[in-house]
Amino acid sequence: MNKKVAFQDLGQRDYKETWDYQEQLFREIVDAKIKNRREAANLETPNHFLFVEHPHVYTLGKSGDINNLLVNEAQLKAKEATFYKINRGGDITYHGPGQIVGYPILDLDNFFTDIHKYLRFLEEMVILTLAEYGLKGQRSDGETGVWLDVGTPFARKICAMGVRASRWVTMHGFALNINTDLGYFDLMIPCGIKDKAVTSLNVELGKQEVDMEEVKQKLLKHFQVLFEAELTSQKSEV
């Protein structure tokens, strides 16, 4: 089992461009697995982990309801935002500047073949990171992602998640709000869940801006421990 994970920080990248790149990496892993099965090729399957910051964009998962986007095309354009219907699970979500988006493209045969455990590990990575800032991140029953003050009238989501997996290969991932303009969440019903607020790390800490690089390093540290992975740096190819 190959537990090495090639990490790339793509910086600020267009959503569709990054989605296409994810698909390319995903397909390379799946193709290797198919060849291994059909030809007993015994190829080592790679793993990838991407960090990226997108321009304003709304994405709708396979089972999502388009009515959860509360603006039309003209209004989207006025807000300099784009919209994509995509092939992950979950409903609608927003990505934008000041948000860390993480895309693990892993062959879970290298780690464990359990999607539930995979999602819980991604949540735990975020929960452990928030704890380093004195915040108690929590899971909410039936709602993937990481929340604060679950079970109170003040419950608010700080990290959204939505993944796709095929042949135990993952793509898509999580979006953690750090210095995010929360006004953009008013243009949708986040994840299709009404009457639940959204927050960001800088708001919770009462800071104008949180060091995004510092948060990234904490996330990577916890990812390596949870997945027993060895991260290797790789230059961006997109």
Domain assignment present for residue 175? The answer is: yes
> E strands, 96-193, where?
99-105, 138-140, 143-148, 156-166, 169-177
Find the helix or strand (DSSP H, E) in which 216 lies: helix 212-227
93 marked as part of a ligand binding site? yes
Q: What is the mean pLDDT of residues 230-238?
A: 73
Task: Please enumerate in sequence order all residues whose Cβ is within 8 A of that of 139, keeping only pairs 6 or more positions apart, or say none.
Answer: 120, 123, 127, 145, 146, 147, 150
Task: Judge contact between 69 and 60, C-beta under 8 A.
Answer: yes
Domain assignment present for residue 162? The answer is: yes
CA distance 133 to 212: 13
The answer to whether the pTM exceeds 0.95 is: no
174 marked as part of a ligand binding site? yes
Find the helix or strand (DSSP H, E) in which 5 lies: strand 4-12
Nearest-10 crossing angle of helices 115-131, 212-227: 140
Tell me the pLDDT of the chain averaged across its residues: 93
Domain assignment present for residue 88? The answer is: yes
How confident is residue 95, by pLDDT bands cut at 50, 70 and 90? Answer: very high
90 marked as part of a ligand binding site? yes
Instruction: Provide the number of structural domains found in the chain.
Output: 1
Q: What is the mean pLDDT of residues 100-115?
A: 98
Find the helix or strand (DSSP H, E) in which 48 lies: strand 48-53
Domain assignment present for residue 72? The answer is: yes
More confident residue, 218 or 238: 218
CA distance 166 to 47: 14
Q: Which residues are catalytic?
A: 191
Strands 143-148 and 82-85: unpaired
Domain assignment present for residue 238? The answer is: no
Q: Mind listing the pLDDT tens digit for each residue in 191-233?
A: 556 667 999 999 999 999 999 999 999 999 999 999 999 999 8
81 marked as part of a ligand binding site? no
Write the CATH number for 176.
3.30.930.10
pLDDT of amino acid 190: 66
CA distance 57 to 104: 20
Instruction: Kindly tell me if the per-residue pLDDT of 149 is higher than 70.
Output: yes
Residues spanned by the domain of 177? 4-233
CA distance 185 to 35: 43
